[in-house]
Amino acid sequence: MVIVNLSYPLHQGMFKYPSDPEPEIEITKAKRELNQIKILILEKDVYETFTLPDDKYKSGFAFLKLRNHHGTHIDAPAHKFPDGKTID
């Protein structure tokens, strides 16, 4: 058996049906925010201040706004005909 990969990657400026709008793809990378928190400690009637790191990590994500004709897809007769057969 031979498997042929016909999938098409999603990317800005990718091939699309001429009348479809451009796909919108926005990628936000993961990041680390460096913060510091101050802690006051009372010991023997004396306050001491300590600064501790409070690093926060934010996940990366992708925002995709695509039409069903962007990228690799299969159309069934139901795409154009009300009583047409579907893929499933």
What amino acid is encoded at 23 in this protein? P
Does residue 5 form part of some domain?
Answer: no
CA-to-CA dists, residue 31 to 54, 57, 59, 81, angstroms: 14, 6, 7, 48
Enter the DSSP assignment of 13: T
Neighbours of 27 (CB within 10 A): 10
Tell me the per-residue pLDDT of 58-77, one tens digit each, with 9 for 90 and over. 889 989 898 877 887 778 89
- Answering whether pTM is above 0.75, one says no
As for how many domains the chain has, the answer is 1
> What's the helix, strand, coil split of the chain in %, to 5?
5, 35, 60
Domain ranges, residue 43: 33-79
Does residue 8 form part of some domain?
Answer: no
Does residue 51 form part of some domain?
Answer: yes
pLDDT at 53 over 70: no
Q: Answer whether 32's CB lies under 8 Å from 23's CB.
A: no
Does residue 71 form part of some domain?
Answer: yes
Does residue 19 form part of some domain?
Answer: no
Does residue 3 form part of some domain?
Answer: no
